[in-house]
Amino acid sequence: MLSGVKQTPTTQRQPAVIEVDEANFEQEVIARSKDVPVVIDFWAPWCGPCRTLGPTLERLASEAKGDWVLAKVNVDENQRLSANFRIQSIPAVKAVYGGKIVDEFVGALPESQVRTWLKRFMPEKGGSLLDAAQAMEAGDPQGAAARYRLILGEEPENTGAMFRLGRLLMLLGEAEGVETLRQVPLGAPLYARAQAMLPLADFFAAADLPAEGDVAERYRQAATLARDGAYAGAMSELIAIVARDRAFRDDGARKALLGFFAALGDEDPLVPVYRRKLANTLF
């Protein structure tokens, strides 16, 4: 069950599978998703893959016992809804929580993959959604991002989820990361770390820029390594640039290093090692 979801008598009695149309969509999907996730199955009677996926989703919804609800939308009878959600191929499945789409897939996935997909926004029983998201970062970063969005859908001011989402997206090289980090408010415990990470946006972008000169090429190579997750190699290149040309890109190599220290955190074994190397280089 999702952390923070209250099991009121209403949510306890709600059916596992509901038929949804344009008239009741707002109440049955958007409003209901404020309490529990709603998985929308866009289908049609003539669709063969839909007849394969539909029973799987219905069975899993029944097994969930109220942790999430399946909303069935017949696209032939609800063309306006299909157009609003830009449905181009069916079956199309979208997870809605807090009134927002948090994950989706297209096609008739096998049951094992559907179960894996559901876990992207359904933490284990008794678990914290934030803890579950953090545990997923290394193996399933997109799933972790979906869980952070779930938390923010329920708690828009949750600065922990805001920082973790921004950090994750930044390290994935996604532009949304820097905008999310900028939303961490002044005075929040993670504000300083969020601000320190902002220069990483320009650093990651350098991987796609032409390089003129040896230092520029090393900077580009460092950015490429970082985008591939090879943080030790990236930081080694940045240390070399600081030693050779501190002024390059307005002290960009040092700022990128500080951004990595903030992103990885002092608990990461790389951080104290490269902090010492940077200090030795500067002083």
Phi-psi region of 69 (alpha: psi -120 to 50; beta: other; left: phi over 0): beta
Does the annotation mark 281 as catalytic?
A: no
Catalytic residue (one of 29, 39, 50, 146): 50
C-alpha 109, offset from chain centre: 21
What span, in angstroms and rounded, lies between the C-alpha atoms of 70 and 58? 7
What span, in angstroms and rounded, lies between the C-alpha atoms of 142 and 100? 16
Does the annotation mark 263 as catalytic?
A: no
Peptide bond into 91 cis (omega under 30): yes
Token couple for 105: 């897939």
Catalytic residue (one of 47, 118, 223, 225): 47
What's the alpha-carbon Rg for the chain, to the nearest Å?
23
CA distances from 115 to 57, 58, 109, 186, 226 (A): 9, 12, 10, 39, 32
Token couple for 274: 């490269």
Known catalytic residues are 47, 50
